[in-house]
Structure 1
Amino acid sequence: MGEEPIGEPRHGHLLGRLSRLTDPAGFFRSDGEDRAADPLVAAHKAHFPKADVRLLRYAYTVAERYHRGQTRKSGAPYVTHPLAVALILADLGMDTTTLVAALLHDTVEDTDLTLGQVHAEFGEEVAVLVDGVTKLDGSKWGDRAEAETFRKIILAAAGDLRVLVIKLADRVHNLRTLRFHPKPEKRRRIARASLELLVPFAERLGIYVFKREMEDVAFACLHPEEYERTHAAVVGSAADRAARLDPLLEQLRKALTAAHLKARVVSRDRHLYSLHQDRRTPPIGPADPPRMGEAARVTVLVDGDAADCYVALGAIHGLWRPLPGRMKDFIALPKYNMYQSLHTAVVLPGGEALELAVRTPRMHRIAESGIISQIQDAAQASGTHARQAAHRADLQWLRNLLAWQAHAPSAEFLDSLRVDLRSAGIVTFTQAGDVVPLPAGATAIDFAYALDADTGHRAVGALTNGRLSSMTAPLEDGQVVEILTAGDGGSGPSEAWLESARTGHARVHIAQWLADRHAETAGLAGRRLVADALAARGENLLDLEGDGTMLQLGAEMGHPNLETLYTAVAAGAVTVDELTGHLTAVQQREEDDTGR
């Protein structure tokens, strides 16, 4: 899934089975090709000291051989791209299988290496990952290629989230080298797609290190002047912020020690895109740099358990006055992407606000790399468990995508996906206390369909926090929602619901229900037209349906069933005169056959 390679791939056969590669000094060092893989091997062994890296070196050798002759837009050999993708993942601690798949992720798409050969040489697990990130052929799929490729990735990720992890690392590296692409419009298109589709996936998987980098690079591409102004302001005011913040952090460390806690207090500047999004007026610039509380993010890493985090929160609030309504407990109620922390905002001396997060070091790993940290832990415990850790059936957002994606036409799929991938925004609850995350602006319609499609179709009203409310009114964070439903004879969703729904899950099911009902209504109208025309000829439609004549007639006219035939009549695609004329011909043919 890298940028399009320049030049023709070098065709050839695989180098042979891994059993031939047991002598690194004799094989790998013979032409020096494997030297390029040394940084990757070192990064991998830093996390997995006992890893057998022969397969990793072999995968690089195969990738280099098959990509030989291809170059990147920068002029570098194409193999530098899959090697960089694998190195990004190795630095984060991904397992050997994922790194092998990352090295091979473009071979099936851009060279004559087949998926069958990948399976034979590297096994089913690697082949599944490579297939999952391989784009569909644009020459065959046309305008549908991008939408159907994302649909394919989602389906593959349902079985193994490492498909998405490789795809994200692939995009991170492509964004790092985006400046080499000669076409400005294509650079902007890649940046926009990254913000709309890949960044949300990174957030859903909790890989914030990817999210922050992709957002900043896309920001620089799409809004270069704003980016440069924001960057200059943040860099230019860094020393002043540090001079003001450092004494406050020292105060906090002393307060935590007094509370008998072992903890590290660290700070970082928010990434530029986040600052830009939060303050548009007046825009951040050298003349109006970000305030300390705007730019700085303070994290308290507590050496202990969750209970110790609450003690640390108390120490913070004892030192500075908390801002009402700004405390959020993501430890008791983790985010949809496994994120856990306590969030608070306090008022500093002088009136400025400062935001802080409190978590354990393990929570911090998950906060930075999300699903990657869980896969790493499983692989370090036992490599056979990495695949199990990468299969998360409990991710509600993924279940929602799987529930509606199959019903969405290609033309609507990407738009619905963009809506569904937006930040969850609010958290709502069922009466039983189950969490239902929804995008900001979601309505009770979205809530009903998030439960299941049947509940959505039969919904007639909603109770929010025990009070009757409109199905189309936006929900608020923390509300308890109960959906009131009618029996099977209910009226079902309306066109107005389609306009009010915010999630792809709800919109796809509503659109499908309305299309089915429109077809049913049109079919009844068409049937009445046919019945009236036949009655004028002295014939009964029920008799012709009963003896199969109408079904035969429809098949001869290109309609596999009576519903589509009558719908075509109602739409004017088949006129009554055409139908009765064809009927006369069928009846005449039957009479002739009988006469014989």
Structure 2
Amino acid sequence: MTTLNQAGSITPPGSPPAPGAASPRARTGFRVPQRGRDRMAAPAAQPAVAPLLAVLRAVSPGRDETELLRGYEVAERLHRGQLRKSGAPYITHPLAVTIILAELGMDTATLVAALLHDTVEDTPYTLGQLRSDFGEEVAVLVDGVTKLDGERWGDQAEAETFRKIVLAAAADLRVLVIKLADRLHNLRTLGFQPEHKRGRYAKASQELLVPFAERLGIHMLKREMDDLAFAARDPDAHLAADRAVRSALRAAEPAFGPALGLLRPALAEQGITGRFSIRPRHLYAVHREREGDLAGLRPCDAARLLLLVDGGERDCYVALGAVHSALHPIPGRVKDFIALPKFNMYQSLHTRVISPDGDLLDVIIRSRAMHPVAEYGIVAHIREAGTGAATAERRDLVWLSRLLAWQSDAPSAAFLDSLRADLAPGDVAVFTPSGEVVALPAGATALDLAYALGPETGDLCIGALVNGRLTALSAELRSGNVVEVLTEPGGGPSEDWLRFAVTAPARVHIRRSLDRRLAEEAAAAGRRELLQALAGHQVDLLAAEAHGDSLRIARELGHAEVDHMYAALATGVLDLDDLLARFTGR
């Protein structure tokens, strides 16, 4: 397949004019080719777009290319005169992003949106013009990935941009897929950025975008993004991991040979057919698992065996039994992601066995039908079911529903930290007494489960029964635990809960409840203070409230509610003498 590195070196024909403040249409005399009848009048493809068309024809043969060529012409003309940090024409970036998405097999609307994804942000082209030229579907996708204006939003711009992407992804997951491809290409070209920016950009990528790729199950993107960010954050460790893994993989085939020699007849004896392959692990995963100690890295540490079974779920379980009959299994190391799929719809059986040479060997078993989703996640569903899956499949992504449930309550200052916590790696699956499966991040507690079941359950919880035994709310949960949350009317969160709440929903709702309680207490204190002061002036506060005088005064002072005015008095924001003067008319 064509790679982005190749695309990044492409130079569009023609000398770019100097950029100016005028509209690109006025500057170039350019009229966007119209849709419908004018499609056939779209110009022939420029040489620069040839790599994209080659990928499109290889992955999606027979697809109409007219709209894609029109999108490229518009993007190239709008970005003409703009340069990347590398000195390459800017169009090489949206073109490269589109090639990534074409390699994934994304639909035409997504590819056109990828070509145009920076036009509204970086050129005078407006969203309204784009909508008129390319239609509502493309406009929604471009709007979803367009950053908010930094001058207008200030320090809140990054957090609110991510909130915007999350909300757009809730309506159409293709927005997030475009954003991931955009970030992947920026990571591939990160070497052209100043050194002080590389580490910060890579860190943000690993904390936010890589987890999003994993949550959508797009492991093809996730693995490369992880390794590129790793290289930028710690070049020496990345180089060491690369050398160690390459060295180990050179001996992979002879190292795995004896195990395969036992596995193949064991599977044949059970009537199971399929294909084994040696799957290298990505560098960052090896580095993290070994905690940087790569001395003596063996082929079994650098790669795993993948078995694609010809058959369904039942055949996968039969294959697991055959693997365990041929090679001694390690107790407690079987993970069944078929019966309990991961949060990103991933399905496979994982097991660890002892090879004939005494090495610990990881084996992954899945059916051929499961394989596309295991590699491409939501993209596989979109390709199979059409663009409607980009909306429909989000119902199966519990993590997205959970994120949407708390994001509106998180202020900008706390949103990114909460998002990082919510996207943290790890996957714990616990059961409620009714049999409902709830996915939580590693380290989650019974309190986190309570809030995962709903804010009301969380606020009223007082303890939990884990596998029938009474435990504290701070008890850390393990996969397979059956947990019943105990509640009590009139209960409420305490400041202490923030010490062991792990998930973003729990932390956001606890802070919100505590802030609401503090505001209520401040309002009550302010009202008492004003009541006592007005009593000395023979003014009845209760009557003033009943007649609407208190609300009128509150709004004159800029407070939407009377309680807000009382709280401002209690906290010293309002002066008591000034407030008395308004109530007494003095």
- Given candidates 10, 27, 35, the residue that maps to 1:18 is 35
SS of the residue corresponding to residue 28 of structure 1 reads coil
User: How far apart are the structure 2 equivalents of 1:307 and 1:170?
Assistant: 39
Could you tell me how far 1:318 is from its partner in structure 2? 0.7
Could you tell me how far 1:233 is from its partner in structure 2? 1.4
- Given candidates 249, 253, 276, the residue that maps to 1:242 is 253
Conserved 8 A contact 2:451-2:457? yes
Comparing 496-505 with 289-298, greater Cα deviation is found at 289-298
Q: 1:547 to 1:377 in 2, by over 3 A?
A: closer
User: How far apart are the structure 2 equivalents of 1:258 and 1:552?
Assistant: 85
Conserved 8 A contact 1:95-1:386? no
Conserved 8 A contact 1:302-1:308? yes
> What one-letter code is carried by the residue in structure 2 that aligns with 1:11?
P
- Given candidates 48, 53, 78, the residue that maps to 2:90 is 78
Conserved 8 A contact 1:192-1:222? yes
User: How far apart are the structure 1 equivalents of 2:367 and 2:499?
Assistant: 43
SS of the residue corresponding to residue 370 of structure 2 reads helix
In structure 2, the residue matched to 1:88 is 100
Q: Indicate whether 1:346 and 2:353 are aligned.
A: yes
Comparing 557-566 with 309-318, greater Cα deviation is found at 557-566
Conserved 8 A contact 1:105-1:133? yes
Superposition map of 1:258-297 within 5 A: 258-280=269-291, 283-284=293-294, 288-297=295-304
SS of the residue corresponding to residue 393 of structure 1 reads helix
- Given candidates 260, 264, 273, the residue that maps to 1:253 is 264
Q: Indicate whether 1:479 and 2:481 are aligned.
A: yes
> What one-letter code is carried by the residue in structure 1 that aligns with 2:581?
G
- Given candidates 421, 424, 429, the residue that maps to 2:423 is 421
Conserved 8 A contact 1:102-1:130? yes
In structure 2, the residue matched to 1:446 is 448
Deviations 1:361-401 (A, max 9, x none): 2211111111111111123xxxx645555x52221100011
Q: 1:23 to 1:516 in 2, by over 3 A?
A: closer
SS of the residue corresponding to residue 277 of structure 1 reads helix
SS of the residue corresponding to residue 470 of structure 2 reads strand
Could you tell me how far 1:177 is from its partner in structure 2? 0.7
User: How far apart are the structure 2 equivalents of 1:178 and 1:93?
Assistant: 25
Deviations 1:470-492 (A, max 9, x none): 011211121111111112xx131
Superposition map of 1:318-357 within 5 A: 318-357=325-364
Could you tell me how far 1:162 is from its partner in structure 2? 0.5
Conserved 8 A contact 1:100-1:126? yes
In structure 2, the residue matched to 1:536 is 536
User: How far apart are the structure 2 equivalents of 1:261 and 1:503?
Assistant: 42
Could you tell me how far 1:23 is from its partner in structure 2? 4.5
SS of the residue corresponding to residue 473 of structure 2 reads coil
User: How far apart are the structure 2 equivalents of 1:7 and 1:403?
Assistant: 47
In structure 1, the residue matched to 2:206 is 195
Q: 1:265 to 1:291 in 2, by over 3 A?
A: same
In structure 1, the residue matched to 2:43 is 28
User: How far apart are the structure 1 equivalents of 2:38 and 2:49?
Assistant: 15
User: How far apart are the structure 1 equivalents of 2:564 and 2:532?
Assistant: 18
Deviations 1:177-207 (A, max 9, x none): 11111x1121111100110000000000000
Superposition map of 1:285-324 within 5 A: 288-324=295-331
Comparing 438-447 with 41-50, greater Cα deviation is found at 41-50
Q: Indicate whether 1:215 and 2:214 are aligned.
A: no
> What one-letter code is carried by the residue in structure 2 that aligns with 1:346?
V
User: How far apart are the structure 2 equivalents of 1:22 and 1:538?
Assistant: 81
In structure 2, the residue matched to 1:367 is 374
Deviations 1:209-246 (A, max 9, x none): 11110110111110111111111112223323332223
User: How far apart are the structure 2 equivalents of 1:146 and 1:483?
Assistant: 36
Could you tell me how far 1:248 is from its partner in structure 2? 2.3
Could you tell me how far 1:50 is from its partner in structure 2? 2.8
Could you tell me how far 1:352 is from its partner in structure 2? 1.9
Deviations 1:119-149 (A, max 9, x none): 1121111111111011111111111011000
Q: 1:19 to 1:535 in 2, by over 3 A?
A: closer
Conserved 8 A contact 1:43-1:87? yes
User: How far apart are the structure 1 equivalents of 2:319 and 2:398?
Assistant: 31
Comparing 475-484 with 234-243, greater Cα deviation is found at 234-243
Could you tell me how far 1:28 is from its partner in structure 2? 2.3
Conserved 8 A contact 1:424-1:437? no
User: How far apart are the structure 1 equivalents of 2:34 and 2:466?
Assistant: 63
SS of the residue corresponding to residue 521 of structure 2 reads helix
Q: 1:557 to 1:388 in 2, by over 3 A?
A: closer
In structure 2, the residue matched to 1:573 is 573
User: How far apart are the structure 1 equivalents of 2:543 and 2:108?
Assistant: 69
In structure 1, the residue matched to 2:505 is 505
> What one-letter code is carried by the residue in structure 2 that aligns with 1:529?
E
User: How far apart are the structure 2 equivalents of 1:11 and 1:318?
Assistant: 68
In structure 2, the residue matched to 1:592 is none
Deviations 1:224-279 (A, max 9, x none): 11111111112223323332223322332232223222211001221110011111
Q: 1:158 to 1:23 in 2, by over 3 A?
A: closer
> What one-letter code is carried by the residue in structure 2 that aligns with 1:343?
H
> What one-letter code is carried by the residue in structure 2 that aligns with 1:43?
V
User: How far apart are the structure 2 equivalents of 1:260 and 1:357?
Assistant: 19
User: How far apart are the structure 2 equivalents of 1:113 and 1:558?
Assistant: 39
Runs of 5+ unmatched residues, structure 2? 1-7, 9-16
In structure 1, the residue matched to 2:12 is none
In structure 2, the residue matched to 1:594 is none
> What one-letter code is carried by the residue in structure 1 that aligns with 2:34?
R
In structure 1, the residue matched to 2:163 is 151
Q: Indicate whether 1:61 and 2:76 are aligned.
A: no
User: How far apart are the structure 1 equivalents of 2:414 and 2:36?
Assistant: 49
User: How far apart are the structure 1 equivalents of 2:262 and 2:101?
Assistant: 38
Conserved 8 A contact 1:428-1:437? yes
SS of the residue corresponding to residue 461 of structure 1 reads strand
SS of the residue corresponding to residue 511 of structure 1 reads helix
> What one-letter code is carried by the residue in structure 2 that aligns with 1:190?
Y
Could you tell me how far 1:42 is from its partner in structure 2? 2.8
Q: Indicate whether 1:177 and 2:186 are aligned.
A: no
In structure 2, the residue matched to 1:593 is none
User: How far apart are the structure 2 equivalents of 1:172 and 1:447?
Assistant: 34
> What one-letter code is carried by the residue in structure 1 that aligns with 2:211?
P
In structure 1, the residue matched to 2:4 is none
SS of the residue corresponding to residue 317 of structure 2 reads helix
Deviations 1:316-369 (A, max 9, x none): 101111110101111111111010001100012343211100011221111111
SS of the residue corresponding to residue 125 of structure 1 reads helix
Conserved 8 A contact 1:41-1:56? no
TM score, norm. by length of structure 2? 0.93
SS of the residue corresponding to residue 105 of structure 1 reads coil
Could you tell me how far 1:554 is from its partner in structure 2? 2.8
User: How far apart are the structure 2 equivalents of 1:174 and 1:512?
Assistant: 37
TM score, norm. by length of structure 1? 0.91
In structure 1, the residue matched to 2:138 is 126
